[in-house]
Every structure is written in C-alpha cells, then in structure tokens.
Amino acid sequence: MFCPQCGANNADTSAICVQCGRNLQPTPPVVMPPMQGQPAPYMQAPGAYVVPNYLIFAILATVFCCIPAGIPAIIYAAQVNGKLQAGDIAGAQVASKNAKLWCWIAFGTGLGAGLIWMLLVMLGAISGMHH
C-alpha cells in the first residue's frame, strides 16, 4: 500500500505510514450538518449526496438574460458534480449556492434590461405620436 501523502511503500496491513506517520486506515466520511437556513443535501443512497447544480438554469440565464453574469453561474454549476465526486460535500454546497446566486443575478439583470428597453420603446412611440 502506498501512502497518499508521501508515496512511501507500506505493508498492506499497516495502519500508519512508516515514513510520514499518516493514518492509512480509511476513515468514515464526515457528514456536516446543513448551515443555518440551508436545506439538507438530498440522500440518494447511503453515502451519496445530491446537491443541485443549477446548470440548466445557468445556461438558460446566460443565453436569454445576461451573458456576463451567466458565465460565473455556469462555472460554479460545473464545479458541483466534480466536488461531489471528490467527496467535498461542503465545497459542492458552496458552489451550488454561488451558481444559484449568479443565475438569479443574470435573470434579474436581463429582466431589468428588458423592462428598461420596453420603457424606452414605449416612450419613443409616444413621442413619435406627438410629431
């Protein structure tokens, strides 16, 4: 068995690395309680967490609403599954939260820009009627 920290070759029954002293026994995954105000991660199977990645929402918000705010949403959304596979549940939850935040920023910016554009078109139409 090779030590994941220093790479030293150890006997298969070793509990501690002979070179660096790292524990070689597998440790059970630590389940962190959800932060205040955050929903608990969904459990699919024992030990498998499902954290929403908001990738579809991020892509739609980027294409239809606001490209500059949608790009960070896509980047954060793409990080969620990789962090879950690596066992970084807290990191996946943070990336999911950031993806959701940037999705709403992109949506709000696009909606606000659309409303301003419609207001300007209506003002232009009204001013054209008076001439």
pLDDT at 48: 63
Q: Does residue 108 lie within any of the structural domains?
A: yes
**Beta carbons within 10 angstroms of residue 102's beta carbon:** 25
More confident residue, 67 or 3: 67
Range with lowest mean pLDDT among 5-9, 78-82, 93-97? 5-9
In a domain, 5, yes or no: no
In a domain, 55, yes or no: yes
| 26 closest CA partner among 55, 1, 43, 63 | 1
Give pLDDT tens digits for 103-115: 999 999 999 999 9
Average pLDDT of the chain, as a whole number: 84
**Residue 73 confidence (pLDDT) above 60:** yes
| pLDDT at residue 29 in the model | 61
* pLDDT value at 44 more than 60: no
Number of domains the chain is built from? 1
Q: Is residue 8 part of a domain?
A: no
Categorize the per-residue pLDDT at 59 as very low, low, confident or very high, splitting at 50, 70 and 90.
Answer: very high
Helix (H, G, I), strand (E, B) or coil at 65: coil
Position 10 in a domain:
no
Domain of residue 100, residue span: 45-129
Which helix (H) or strand (E) covers residue 25, if one does? none
Structure tokens at 4: 């994941």
The answer to whether position 20 is within a domain reads no
Can you tell me the distance from the alpha carbon of 71 to that of 73, in angstroms, rounded to the nearest whole number?
A: 5
Kindly state whether residue 36 falls inside one of the protein's structural domains: no
Residue 75 belongs to a domain: yes
Measured at the CA of 84, the angle between CA 49 and CA 86, to 5 degrees, comes to 130
Whether 40 has a pLDDT exceeding 60, the answer reads: no
Looking only at the bridges linking them, the beta strands covering 48-50 and 42-45 are antiparallel
